[in-house]
Amino acid sequence: MTKIRRTIVAPIAAAALFSTVTACSSDSDADTSSSTASASAAAPSSSSSGFAGGGPGGGGAGGGLQTFTAVDLDTDGANASGANTTAVVTAATAFLATLDTSTAGKVNYAFTDNVSRQTWSNYPAQQVPRKGVALSDLDDDAKAAAMALVKTMLSPAGYAQVQTIQQADDWLRANSASGTDSFGSDSDYYIAIYGKPSTTGSFMVQFGGHHLARNYTYKGTTASITPDFTGTEPKSFTIGNTAVEPMKEKAGTLFDVFDSLTDDQEAKAKLSGTIDDILMGPGVDSGKFPATQGVAVADLSAQQQSLVLDAIRAWVGDASPDVAASLMKTYTAQLSQTRVAFANSDTVDGESTYLRIDGPRVWIELVNTRSRSTPNVHYHGVYRDKNDDYGSTNPSA
């Protein structure tokens, strides 16, 4: 049976949108009394998350009351090998050299400051304050050096995605009726460095803002590239006459997997209950992931298994090539123990469509979440490594 779930999403022109628009409802509800520091609803609606507002963390506009779990964030985990640490150290040192003493103090933290290292979110920075310094607070030389550092950490595709997610925030700044001052590629994105950049010791570079979080930890020639949040609002937009779709590859490869499922496979892949948003978002750092569910990749055809690897590669491939290759070798070896699952819907424009890849280490989630900015849903996505978040192994130990 051939199933057609995919639809062509036309670029969204501003004139076609609501006359007044705001940021995604999960990010900027007018009533924030029960909103969370993460837009992820930590559990299906059939179960209790244990957090106020149904999600991990607490806070919201002006709150930033994100919760943290005491974890060891610097163990000898099997992090990705082949890291371009020397180049990252050079770029990080050059960035720090552009800063005056006061600004450097806002950027550089102790590597042992684990609470700060776990402070990240997909919310706008005005709602959940970030550590570090906003790009808008840097002069031109410092901003260029900061982005050069981010570019060094990433692959060309990963850096291009950073830029398009920032462009989406610029789009919101120009088209939102509320929160306009908080959105934008400069004001809503922060950079921080934990520890002294070194080719031998541990340090971390953190960069992110609305719908973006890069947490890259280096230790010698190894690197950890998770937690990693990528999302976009809107899903597509235009700059001049050019259509921009920041999550086109990540979403597209995941939908390819679920489009390929037979009816029987789809029945095995569907989760019971409703999942409103990503489960393992910011503030969920205990290392306790949901029980593995879904259809086993080992039971899929060779072609379908290749599609699963393509989907994983789309997320992992944001990192520098050698790091990505090292992680893909691990995830490929574990493919037979990996499962794929969905909840609510697996259609490209479905309300609350939720897709997941769950392996012994790799964890990827993508959800369509409701927006008040456009007539359409938009994406939240997260990639985590169960052993290596923040450079740690087995963080719940």
Give the per-residue pLDDT at 120.
Answer: 93
Instruction: Give mean pLDDT, residues 9-35.
Output: 37
- pLDDT tens per residue, range 54-110: 232 222 323 345 666 666 666 656 789 999 999 999 999 999 999 999 999 999 999
Give the per-residue pLDDT at 14.
Answer: 35
Least-confidence region, from 65-79, 265-279, 296-310: 65-79
Q: pLDDT above 90 covers what percent of the chain?
A: 61
Give the per-residue pLDDT at 28.
Answer: 41
Position 3 pLDDT exceeds 70:
no
Structural domain boundaries of the chain?
14-391
Instruction: Give mean pLDDT, residues 123-130.
Output: 87
Which residue type, as a one-letter code, is found at position 215?
Answer: N
- pLDDT tens per residue, range 26-37: 444 333 333 333
Phi-psi region of 195 (alpha: psi -120 to 50; beta: other; left: phi over 0): left
Contact predicate 53/26, CB 8 Å: no
Give the per-residue pLDDT at 7.
Answer: 41
Confidence of residue 372 (pLDDT cuts 50, 70, 90): low
